[in-house]
């Protein structure tokens, strides 16, 4: 059986962000994101560790949760969003992850 059509899946936004030190592994980054984005629907797609223990990541959130997710990420000490878009291709290009 086929999945839901494109219109039924809903719109989403891709957020490129910088996670501070302590996020060198994908699992640790997901744990940190889970505490910051608690109660929101999100999924991490890309993760690139940095030389100083920080990481660059791309997270998908529903369009309705985008503003809340962005404000939560930016309110954390040392965290900040780098870019966001409706297309993951554009976020990957901006973060040079492609």
Low-confidence ranges of the chain (pLDDT < 70): none
Give the per-residue pLDDT at 63.
94
Residue 49, classified by CB atoms within 10 Å of its CB into exposed (0-12), middle (13-18) or buried (19+), is middle
pTM: 0.89
Give the per-residue pLDDT at 10.
85
| Closest to 45 measured CA to CA, from 5, 85, 77 | 85
Query: Given phi > 0 = left and psi -120 to 50 = alpha, else beta, which region is 15?
Result: beta
């Amino acid at each position: 059986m086929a999945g839901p059509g494109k219109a039924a899946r809903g719109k989403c936004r891709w957020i490129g962000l910088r996670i501070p030190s302590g996020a060198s592994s994908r699992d640790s980054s997901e744990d940190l994101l889970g505490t910051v984005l608690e109660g929101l629907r999100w999924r991490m797609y890309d993760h690139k560790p940095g030389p100083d223990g920080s990481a660059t990541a791309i997270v998908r959130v529903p369009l309705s949760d985008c503003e809340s997710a962005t404000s939560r990420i930016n309110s954390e000490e040392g965290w900040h969003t780098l870019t966001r878009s409706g297309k993951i291709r554009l976020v990957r290009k901006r973060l040079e992850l492609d």
